[in-house]
Structure 1
């Protein structure tokens, strides 16, 4: 197997005892010293560099017992499944994550299939409950379609309910979507409704987890932070209260609070759109999220983003990019 920087990042990420914080520490050091991770894995360079003791000790204790042959086979399996590694030193790595990744526990390495440029496209995420009524799903679909037609890539978490409806709405409008998984990318399966809509140009699948990981509730919570970090705005369709009577935390509410902490605009569907107003939606609006109604939501979102682009001096570009084939699952 050809030795590459992507393999080195994969190798380090799969090393026992090494977590997200250490991976970011490594990047911070290599970036400061104008090096790559591969430089640190060359014995002569390690000995010559002024590597902080903490990093040097961790490298020595963690890498020495690696099963290099097993790691090589695992990496080859990714290549055979057309999975690409987006690591923080590569130009394809989402630029937003360099701002948010460390603080929110998002690793500097993602696994990707599909159209890679969507990782850095103008994107809006749509999030919400798995269990909502047909009216809320219709609103979700129409919002996703309208924003996709405006040139935005639609990001969501591929769960049933709001997530899947948002993805499907974007694809039905001949737009693009990013699917952010709460499991390993080698366990990704195209749902029945999605298969006819996948085309050579419209989807990116991302995972921050080890490629063979199964679904876990804690992964879903972590995934929600990545959904937000990839986006220029977040739309909440339906949220439960932050913590319910059984002590369970709402993933949607947590995602909205994470987006607010990231200074990403959060738009929340008005509670009056529901026969029984949702406590989570009401609470988020009281926390400072923007309340929207279906009839003027898209214009309100676009106006807010246009104002922010003027304030920051950045041009809001929603050109639909040229796309490539999404491999079949």
Structure 2
């Protein structure tokens, strides 16, 4: 599991306290500048930080001990949950730039690179059959081009987005309105497991947190915050998807929509976006061209031979690591936990396919 610094321990502490949330977290940080000092002087926080109430002050006092932080870290380790604070270099830069980004993310699986090419797909929990199919096809085509697919693992459109990415052996990330260890909705248990094989399940909520209605709008700003472009499928006029769209627009993200049955009750969101001038996309090429992304077909194509799934997963992990920086085979082995022998085998295959190229000093980079 992720090692955290002493400073990050206090980020974890403050962010975990009931009622604090990102706004009060950053208010406290701006007053104290050093959260270790805030930890030791927490009795004074309600007096010094105007947004923190006396009730929240009581919760801060009750949790201000090192053993509390240790127990949190032990819980995460036991559940194989990574702790990623905003101080960590692996924290997605694209998310760090939004207003009041999550101070701490909890995730299972492995974290993709969102900063270059990531697309969120959102919409109704009860789409039409055609609406479901359109989103699944879009996600499939985009994932096949190496675009990270982001959604919320809810019923309907979210499920279609994740399934489409997985169909293409692509990379996908689910942002939950509950703990990263909680499968919601329960019927998506198998999907949850498949997502962990191809990407990450992410949450800003503590492990074990059960879903509540008020958590989902909060979650939605992360869905839009992790993407360069958001595609809204079928959805209602006053829906969670509309909240995510509004969040994306505030964050300066590109927003597209899809064709729909104009008579359907779930056509209201696409129609609203069309009236607002949002581009209508029908396939992955429309999105790629609209974003100025080169079509390069980097994702592994589905294979059936023995060991193909393992090879596809390694290729995807290596590709996403090399998107961040040039690395040697040894560094890739260290990052992935895979043996040098297996890493070298995958690197050779990727070179032959033109995905990467070797550099002096046994380093590799994406073939541009």
Indicate whether the TM-score tops 0.5.
yes
What does 1:37-56 correspond to in 2, within 5 Å?
A: 37-38=35-36, 41=39, 54-55=48-49
CA gap of 1:119–1:87, structure 2 versus 1, over 3 A, is: farther
Q: 1:67 offset after TM fit, Å?
A: 5.7
Confirm or deny: 8 A CA contact 2:39 2:64 kept in the other structure. Answer: no
Confirm or deny: 8 A CA contact 2:31 2:48 kept in the other structure. Answer: no
Give the Cα–Cα distance (whole angstroms) in 2 for the partners of residues 57 and 237 of structure 1.
37
Q: 1:301 offset after TM fit, Å?
A: 1.4
Confirm or deny: 8 A CA contact 2:114 2:148 kept in the other structure. Answer: no
The answer to which structure, 1 or 2, has the higher relative contact order (CA under 8 A, 6+ apart) is 1
Give the Cα–Cα distance (whole angstroms) in 1 for the partners of residues 19 and 164 of structure 2.
41
SS at match of 1:278: helix
1:301 to 280, 287, 302: 287
Q: 1:288 offset after TM fit, Å?
A: 2.8
* 1:146 maps to 2:176: no
Confirm or deny: 8 A CA contact 1:154 1:178 kept in the other structure. Answer: yes
Give the Cα–Cα distance (whole angstroms) in 1 for the partners of residues 190 and 78 of structure 2.
25
* 1:256 maps to 2:245: yes
Counterpart in 2 of 1:110? 105
Give the Cα–Cα distance (whole angstroms) in 2 for the partners of residues 222 and 57 of structure 1.
18
Confirm or deny: 8 A CA contact 1:115 1:324 kept in the other structure. Answer: no
Higher helix share: 2
CA gap of 1:29–1:116, structure 2 versus 1, over 3 A, is: farther
Give the Cα–Cα distance (whole angstroms) in 2 for the partners of residues 280 and 211 of structure 1.
33
Q: 1:54 offset after TM fit, Å?
A: 2.7
Counterpart in 1 of 2:27? 25
Q: Which runs of 5+ in 1 are unaligned?
A: 243-249, 310-316
Confirm or deny: 8 A CA contact 2:165 2:171 kept in the other structure. Answer: yes
Give the Cα–Cα distance (whole angstroms) in 1 for the partners of residues 121 and 167 of structure 2.
16
TM-score, reference length from structure 2 = 0.68
For this pair of structures, how many residues does the alignment match?
Answer: 292
Counterpart in 2 of 1:65? 62
- Provide, for residues 229-276 of structure 1, a one-character-per-residue CA deviation record: whole Å limited to 9, x for no partner: 10000011111123xxxxxxx111121122122221111112357767
Q: 1:305 offset after TM fit, Å?
A: 1.2
TM-score, reference length from structure 1 = 0.76
What does 1:230-249 correspond to in 2, within 5 Å?
A: 230-242=226-238
CA root-mean-square deviation:
3.5
Confirm or deny: 8 A CA contact 1:172 1:197 kept in the other structure. Answer: no
Confirm or deny: 8 A CA contact 1:6 1:85 kept in the other structure. Answer: no
Q: 1:141 offset after TM fit, Å?
A: 1.4
* 1:321 maps to 2:320: yes
